[in-house]
Amino acid sequence: MIEVIPAIDIIDGKCVRLTRGNYDEKRIYNESPLDVARAFEDAGCRNLHVVDLDGARSQHITNYKVLEAIASHTELKVDFGGGLKSDDDVRIAFECGAEKVTGGSIAVKSPTTFERWLDTYGSRRVILGADTRDGKILTDGWQKGSNQSIIPFIEEYVQKGITQVISTDVSCDGTLTGPSVKLYVEILKKFPRLFLIASGGVGRLSDIAELERNGIPAVIVGKAIYENCITLKDLERINLTGTCLPDA
């Protein structure tokens, strides 16, 4: 069974979604991320992916109070990313209730810092963010490119002990046009023991089913839920039965 992990992206303390990582195409879906998190919990979700989009564009964690509210008022296990650029940022995230943290830009720009987090907290609590466009790793809230190709980038950190990777194909993110299944199959072919979390492009239940058929262990879903392409009742049924398709 593929695990479906709902997402909450935060700007100015509000629940938003972007399209292809473009901050100019921001849409606010709810003023209260906590209310959204509670709805996911009521639908039977156990894990939640939270991204501090303000932090991702800045040099430090920003929306940690939102994280703290969600962690304090729900039983959800939160993976938190965005703006984690120092040891203090990670400390704040864990103190505010994060179960796990995701580091993307920091793994590109300051590998020694990211490796220190991995050594300090372990591979169970530190996830590698491998966000890409056209096969190249992106940084700074997807606003900047790099010269690093995704497969060698992941390989470097697998050799250093990483066991969990979230990979977003930014060209698909927020489009509802389907995920980059080929990319994820390529990654798992190279790293079959990796717990790979797909992200970006999911627009319908059949997209999740396709990822499952190809052996992808988990997927993050955001805009499809907020646009009711995948409903909270769908999430509840998946969590109860493990069934991705209505007629399956």
131 flagged as catalytic = yes
Catalytic-labelled residue, pool 9, 54, 89, 169:
9
| Structure token pair of residue 69 | 């509210």
234 flagged as catalytic = no
Catalytic-labelled residue, pool 52, 54, 79, 131:
131
Give the full edge-to-edge strand order of the sheet including 132-133. 132-133, 136-139, 144-149
Please state, in angstroms and rounded to a whole number, the distance separating the CA atoms of residues 166 and 94. 19
The residues assigned a catalytic role are: 9, 131
